[in-house]
Amino acid sequence: MMKLSSSIVAVLAIVFSTSLSAQVQPETMASCLSTDIVEFDGNIVEAAVATPALSTLVTAVEVAGLVDALATSEGITVYAPTNDAFDALPGNLVETLLANTDLLSAVLTFHVSPMMVDPRRFVDGYRRSTLLDGQFVFIDRTQGYSRVNNARVNCQGVQASNGLVWIIDSVLIPAI
């Protein structure tokens, strides 16, 4: 994996830190929609690596052997759960997932849509396919927030060279 310059890492860390803290206050639909998507000069995996709040996700992607697939797939959307989202999972579920690469791969591919999706644009509910065969995520806007399967979506997405990344506050669990 390419090394990112420290200045790029610092800038992206500040952008994501700022956008993560913006989640505390409910946004109006208009303000959320008007939030610009950040451009990142690198692929989705490099963007995640450059974001300290996604270090658990990065570890999981590495353990599952999905780095190359996520770095080279074109036109995808990743719903990226934060470290806090992984920490909120019950018991030792994170350790169980990390020990079972098949299950971990299923959970992680459930976080990827094979098309570019801006979840802020859906109000009344919309179903999008994922890379997990036959599984869909549901995107809507409830209680003032854009949501993917009820996980709150940060209003500021990141456009990487091969797709979009949206920070979410929960780990999505597929029906497997």
Ranges of each domain in the chain: 6-168
Look up residue 114 and give its DSSP letter.
S
pLDDT for res 123: 73
Q: How many residues does the chain have?
A: 176
Whole-structure pTM value: 0.83
What's the sign of the alpha-carbon dihedral 108, 109, 114, 117? negative
Burial class, 55, CB count within 10 angstroms (exposed 0-12 / middle 13-18 / buried 19+): middle
State both tokens at 23. 């989640």
Q: pLDDT tens track of the chain, all 176 residues? A: 333 333 333 334 444 444 454 444 445 778 888 899 999 999 999 999 999 999 999 999 999 999 999 999 999 999 999 999 999 999 999 999 999 999 999 999 999 999 999 999 887 777 888 888 889 999 998 888 899 999 999 999 999 999 999 999 999 999 87
Per-residue exposure over 91-123, b if at least 16 CB sit within 10 Å of its own CB, e if not: eeebeebbeeeeebbbbbbbbbbbeebebbebe
* CATH superfamily of the domain spanning 6-168: FAS1 domain (2.30.180.10)
pLDDT reported for residue 124? 78
Q: Which pLDDT does position 27 carry in this prediction?
A: 56
Residue 162 near residue 174, CB atoms below 8 Å: no
Q: How many angstroms separate the first and last alpha carbons of the chain?
A: 31
CB 60 within 8 A of CB 97: yes
Q: Kindly write down the DSSP assignment for every residue of 125-157, as one continuous string.
A: -EEEE-SSTT-EEEEEEETTEEEETTEEBPS--
